[in-house]
Structure 1
């Protein structure tokens, strides 16, 4: 049994990217999440056997089906770690490993997934992708091999779990996969680096404009006329 499934947890569309408000209204944030989810699933489809999207939101699960993903109704919408355990429990007898990915990684296609899944996955028990803020933007593990520690400082917590369970591990440090979308500057990175992605295409439709600046922030992101 060498199959690998991707697991993508997705919150309610109505809760999509609230930190981007009021730069983007609710409908725009929902469409942004849909575009990012399309980028993530279309990329992962090239490397995994199946994709699982777990959510408590019926609209999300209906959208998951249009992407060709397996949809699982989340039992406890208040706890990401429990949702991941639920999805892994469903998959544990079907696969050798799972890759856990957030839904908001629009640059994932440039992150070196080919080598990561087709080569490194066979040589390591545990592969982790850090986010730029100390979180975890990817895990490749045997289902239920470690305790899920998503939340504040999850990167270090997950590494600790790998050590506690005597798993040989690899850290996959990727700029493109470290970029999850939370603030307007992240949208600027997509405009600069996301050529060909559905997410950049959508942002262009909103007339998003980005300019490099020298100051507290690297990029100035505005909306054109």
Structure 2
């Protein structure tokens, strides 16, 4: 299965600007991308980065990670990649083409969590994010297309119903947690052990439990 990983280098992680400098946000975004791609590769599936500009992805495997540069909006770029007429079905006995889309900021994703997503039955398999977003998809229905504007989880349920696609939802903390806000960094320090979590720790971040909830502070 081909797994698309959209990545935008334009003002990465701007909502973390109150916590991280511009260079730190860029480094974190690239570290999370590498963590996600490496977790996908560990499942035996084939990651392909869909980036807004050329980007190198170094992971701890011998496999080369292909990068397709597409400067267009996320929805347009992903839909064109899904509909790629040069692609062939994953299984010669099944005319359906399977393709997955996994966001580049799912730094808590593990091969096990991703395998649960990839192996689930359904024309469309959805891993919703917090706040109504869609963090990961598996698409097996030829007429299904994505729409990442606004509450995309609800939009994707509607689109699936419109084309007659069956839907399976994956309830996974690791796939539901995208690193967008300062509070999300605490999740990364608690549950992460990859490049992104290491980067935060090396930058002096630690857990802060002094206000009755878990947050982060800089040493």
Tell me how far apart the structure 2 counterparts of residues 81 and 128 of structure 1 sit (CA, whole Å): 16
**In 1, distance between residues paired with 2:53 and 2:16?**
20
Match of 2:20 among 16, 20, 24: 24
Note the residue ranges of structure 1 that are not aligned, 5 or more in a row.
none
Q: Is the 8 A contact 1:50 1:70 kept in 2?
A: no
> CA deviation digits over 1:42-86, x for unaligned, max 9?
11012253211112212x2xx13x44221112052xx11001012
Q: Classify the secondary structure of the residue corresponding to 2:83.
A: helix
What is the aligned partner in structure 1 of residue 87 from structure 2? 93
Alignment gaps of 5+ in structure 2: 90-96
Q: How many residues align?
A: 208
Secondary structure class of the residue paired with 2:199: helix
CA distance in 2, matches of 1:220, 1:93: 45
Once the two structures are superposed, what CA deviation does each residue of 1:84-131 show, in whole Å capped at 9, x if it has no partner? 01222337623421110110001111762223323x2xx311100110
Q: Deviations over 1:202-222 (max 9, x none)?
A: 11001112123556xx33221
Normalising by structure 2, report the TM-score.
0.87
SS at match of 2:110: helix
Moved more, 202-211 or 107-116: 107-116
Among residues 157, 160, 178, which one is paired with 1:159 in the alignment?
157
TM-score relative to the length of structure 1: 0.85
Shift of 1:132: 0.8
Shift of 1:163: 1.3
Aligned residue for 1:90, secondary structure, equals coil
